[in-house]
Structure formats: structure tokens, C-alpha cells
Structure 1
Amino acid sequence: MRRKGNKRRLKRARRRRKLFTTPYIPLDLQINILLRLPVKSLSRFRWVSKLWNQHLNFASSSAPGRLLIAFEDFHQKKLLLVSLPNPHASSSYSYCVPYRDLRLRKFDGRVMYNPVHGLICVGSRLMVEIFNPITRQLQAFPQDDPKGHDFFFGYDPIEDQYKVLAIDESPLRAEHKVLVVGRDRAWRDPQCVACPHVSHTTGLYMNGTVYYGASTKDIDSPNNIPIIMSFNVRFETFNIIKLPSEVVPMGIENMWTDKPLINYRGKLGVVKNPRNGYFRMWVLEDAEKEEWSMNTFQLPGSAAAVLDFKVMATFSNGEICLVPRKLSDPF
């Protein structure tokens, strides 16, 4: 009798489990839901499982792209991050509202460099740090040499590795170092440097390659040549991309001023920031043949009246993001 009673109870328990079975939610959908939550909630949910902690610390590269804009307050030493999804192509131009829970303090003494997959590279003379806006964590990597460096952040999708490239600011030394994030804390020399050069712009990461504006080593020479350097993150090799002469004049010390690099529909672009209600952009159509196209963009009437705009980035649908250089109080 006891055996029959036990069997009946087991059958009832199995039926209840079938009725109340938790539905399967794909991991990509879980991550998308989590990324819509406030920062405080995300910080707590990191401890639900090792899998959630891993994906919240290093956002998936397959997640839908978002635009991340940073505003720095040098006086109060604060940083405000503005995050928004790709806009729809239905409107001629779009506005964004910052998320106040991404406001940070105590960012003094650091310089922000290019982001990759939502992670931001932050550097100082003593160390380089990788900042995660979702968890507000900083992972620090001390420098071997406290000289001034420019830092460039990239990702190797084959080996699933984040790397930092450090370039000496001095044109006399022109030293280069590479750090693999998360594997060790040792800086090493890259395998090959195409030519001695000095970096002038922040980095732009696209599809396993980091791009930045540069010039030949002797910055004081009237014959120095403006170039774009590409750094293959996986193989740690450099390549030179030549520019049309009308994009960046040769022999000028501030040759790269107001000429940011952007990702325009998956292609490398160089922008001359707005002047007189319009701006021009050169796009590298064929890297092997070094063929460039030039596009002229007229600003909307409301934006054309504001002279001090700069091009920050583009969305995947081709829309261009313009922001004022200075704000009275973005915080």
C-alpha cells in the first residue's frame, strides 16, 4: 500500500512540474532585457550566476548597437554618459536624453579613449583602465613606464581578446606597446611597426582593426605627411592608409584638428567639422586601391544656427550624430 501511495504522489508531483515549468528564454533575449534595467539593478543581478556576471561585465558584440556619448566636467571632475539605441530612419534628425543613472564622479586625472562593445578605455600616466558603464567597474593595468602615451582599444573576435595599444607621445621615441586585457598585466612590443609615426586622433575600432590619424615621426618637419594608421588587433601589425591631399594639409602642426575618424556604414570616414552650415566627409571606398569618395552634408536649419557643433559618430542606418562642443550644464 505504501508503494502505491508513493507512486501516486510522484505522479502528482510530475504533473505539477509540467504545469509550472519555467519557459526557456534565449540568452540573447535575457541580455537584452537586462540591459534595459537601471544600473543599480544590474549590479545586484550580476551575482545571480557566473554566466550573467560574465555577460554583464563584457557585453556581447552581437547585441544591438547603441550610441554612447561622454560629457566631462573638468571643474567638478565628473563624467556623464549618454546612451541611446539606434534611431529610426523615419526622422530627418533625432535628439537624445541622457540616463541620469550613468552619472559618475571622481574621474579626475584620466583621459577617455575609444570605446569597444560598450567598454571604455581610460588612461593616465600611471596606468590604463577598462571601464564598464553597466557595472561601474574599473579594471586597472599599471604601466611599465610613466611616460605620456596615447591609448587605443580594440578587440580580436577570433581569439575573443581585448587589447590596448600604447603609443609614446614623443616624436623622438615613437615607442609602441601592447597589452592583452584579462590575460596578464605585462606590456609587450608589437610584432611589426610599419613606420615611425606620431598619433594625433583618438582611435576608431571597426571589425578587428583600430584606426587613428597620425603623421610621420618628425612633427616639426615641413615635409611630414598626414596618414591614417590601421592596427590589426589579432596579428598586432600596422598598415599605412594614404589620404587625399585636400583632406589633411601636409606640413601643418595641427593638421588633424577638427578631423575625427568615424565609421560610416561600415567604412572608414574622415570628417571636416561643420563650417557655415555644412560639413564634408571623405569615405574610404576601396582600401587596396586607396580610393576615397567625398560627401557634402547640409545641416538642418535649427542646427545650422549653432556654429560650435562637432561630428561625434554615426548610426548603423547612416544617420550622423552632431553634438555641441560645450554645454552650460549637462549634469
Structure 2
Amino acid sequence: MDIHQQHPRSTGLDEFNFFVPECDGFHCIEMKKDERKVSRCNFDFRYSDLSYNTGLFCFWVGKLDSVRIFNPGTRELIVLPRVKQLHHLRNLSESYLSFYHECSYTLGYEPEEKKYKVLMTLRVTGESTRNWIFTLGTDKSWREINRVTCFTPERKLCVCGFIYILDCWHKFIVAFDLKVENFKLIPMWSGSQHQMGDYELIEVKGKLAIWNGSSGFVNLWVLEDPHKEKWQSHIICFPNMRTFGTYQIYSCCDGEILIFLIRLNDSVTSRSCLLL
């Protein structure tokens, strides 16, 4: 585990690695100062979503299929067992599951005990969520944990041992402590709006931050302490990102924020990566 954690940190500032996911694998782009190497990794399965944390990927195809954990450094792939308590749901029709059930997984890393854990959340319309946890290398089956109020598990991020889930409609953050394995609701800052599309979760220097780039500047709210529920606002002078098109926000290990342009507007002629 220590060797795996130290390897990504050993690279210099002039070296970058990008993983471009596809439905049946991904491209690995290794960029150094004077060269670029592109390789392809193919899977024997197709996936619809993924979660990444501290050097490992978690893949799944939605609903209640098996979850796979992938180590890009060793190209090792493991398949996690299915949740036994939900075996009867797999016999239901696909249309029923897609309408009534939302199933998602989040891969997290707990730094104190140095453990990887996968949080599975199943939401049934009009009911509370059901949640299971699986510890890599320790557990043989999923363990169900206490329920929390209903939330939509769309925007999620693991930061320093906490899995954060954004719920703009109820104006709070669902925080799952990976060490003690319990949930906590953290209210959002005063004056926060309900437009879920305007918010993105990112990590800034080991802290949770919420990005809002819907106006002519970027408003960055940083959760200084998850236990004290204290937010701090930062204003970044930056063009309105909507003028560029569709983009995604990522965090770099050195504290910088990476903006990756996906779909460009007519006024933008080249695909770019921007750093803040």
C-alpha cells in the first residue's frame, strides 16, 4: 500500500498522466517534457460509470451488476461480490429498475488506517436510501450500514477520509466518514441556491470545495473543517465558463485546479486544458 501511494508522488512537475475513459477501456497518455506516449487498455466488459481515488478506479455498469476495481499501475483487475440482500431485485425488469432505483458507487480512501472502501448507495423513489460498504482486502461481502434521508447521489467526491455527496435541493452536503462509517449532514452556506447544475465538487489542498462558475467570476466555497461545518468563500476573476462550452473540473495534487473543455461552442476553435 505504501509503495502504491508513493509512486504517483515520485513523478516530476514536467510529467503528466491522463486517462481518457471509454465504455470498454481507456487510453493512457503519458506526457513528459519532450515526448508523449499513448497506450490502450481494453476490458472484457463494458461499463457506464466510474469512480477514482488515490490511484485506483472503480467501474460499474449501473443498477446492480458486479463492481470492478482496477489498478492502472499494475493493470490488475478484481471483481467485487454482489450484494446478497438485493438478489431478488435483479429478477425485475430493466424498465422497473431504471425508473424506481438509482444505484451508485463511490471509491474512497481512509488515510489514517490506509484502507480503500467502496460505498454503494441505492435510492428508491420516495424512500430513504439504503447503503452498503465494502473494504478492499478485508471484507468478503458487503455490509449494510444505517440509512440516511433521501438524497440524489449524483455529485460525489472523497477528500481526506470523507465521501461528500452534494444535495442542492435540500441545501446540504451528505458527509460519510470512512473511518467510523457513519453519515452526517452538513448545511451549505447561507444564501446558497438550488441550481444543481451550477455546482461542482473539487478538492483544494486537502479540503472539500464547491465550484460555481455560472457568472462572470468563479465563486469557490471551501469547507475549512467538516466537524465545525465552517465555509469560507473565495472569488476568482475568470471568464464565464459557459461561453467556452461544456467543461469538467478536476483537482491536481499540487493544489492547482484543472479545467478540461469537452464540448466547445462555435466561438472556441481548439480543445484546451486550463489551470488555475
When residues 187 and 270 of structure 1 are mapped into structure 2, their CA distance, relative to the original with a 3 A threshold, is same
For these two proteins, the number of residue pairs brought into alignment is 244
Conserved? CA contact 1:164–1:179, under 8 Å: yes
1:307 corresponds, among 244, 262, 266, to: 244
* Letter paired with 1:179: F
1:71 corresponds, among 10, 20, 37, to: 20
Correspondence for 1:265: 205
Shift of 1:177: 0.6
When residues 62 and 229 of structure 1 are mapped into structure 2, their CA distance, relative to the original with a 3 A threshold, is farther
When residues 290 and 148 of structure 1 are mapped into structure 2, their CA distance, relative to the original with a 3 A threshold, is closer
Q: Structure 1 residue 163 and structure 2 residue 114: aligned?
A: no
Q: Secondary structure at the match of 2:144?
A: coil
Separation (CA, whole Å) in 2 of partners of 1:288 and 1:200: 22
For the aligned residue pairs, the C-alpha RMSD in angstroms reads 3.6
Which structure's CA Rg is the greater one?
Answer: 1
- Give me the TM-score of the superposition, normalised by structure 1: 0.62
2:66 corresponds, among 122, 127, 130, to: 127
Conserved? CA contact 1:273–1:310, under 8 Å: no
Separation (CA, whole Å) in 2 of partners of 1:65 and 1:209: 25
Correspondence for 2:96: none
Conserved? CA contact 1:284–1:290, under 8 Å: yes
State the percentage of identical aligned residues: 22
Conserved? CA contact 1:150–1:168, under 8 Å: yes
When residues 99 and 119 of structure 1 are mapped into structure 2, their CA distance, relative to the original with a 3 A threshold, is farther
Shift of 1:233: 1.0
Q: Structure 1 residue 109 and structure 2 residue 47: aligned?
A: yes
Conserved? CA contact 1:274–1:307, under 8 Å: no
Q: Within 5 Å, give how 1:73-222 maps onto structure 2.
A: 73=22, 77-82=24-29, 99-101=37-39, 103-104=41-42, 108-113=46-51, 115-124=52-61, 125-144=64-83, 145=86, 146=90, 148-171=102-125, 172-190=127-145, 192-193=146-147, 195-214=148-167
Separation (CA, whole Å) in 2 of partners of 1:61 and 1:248: 40
* Letter paired with 1:307: F
Conserved? CA contact 1:200–1:212, under 8 Å: yes
* Letter paired with 2:113: E
When residues 305 and 291 of structure 1 are mapped into structure 2, their CA distance, relative to the original with a 3 A threshold, is closer
* Letter paired with 2:170: I
**Structure 1 unaligned blocks of 5 or more:** 1-53, 86-94, 216-223, 250-254
Separation (CA, whole Å) in 2 of partners of 1:186 and 1:101: 34
- Give me the TM-score of the superposition, normalised by structure 2: 0.72
Deviation per residue, 1:133-173 (Å, 9 max, x gap): 12222211132224641111112334332111101132425
* Letter paired with 2:71: N
When residues 128 and 267 of structure 1 are mapped into structure 2, their CA distance, relative to the original with a 3 A threshold, is same
Separation (CA, whole Å) in 2 of partners of 1:322 and 1:129: 28
Correspondence for 1:236: 181
Conserved? CA contact 2:67–2:80, under 8 Å: yes
Which structure is higher in strand share?
2
Separation (CA, whole Å) in 2 of partners of 1:260 and 1:198: 16
Separation (CA, whole Å) in 2 of partners of 1:68 and 1:203: 23
Shift of 1:294: 2.2
Conserved? CA contact 2:128–2:150, under 8 Å: no
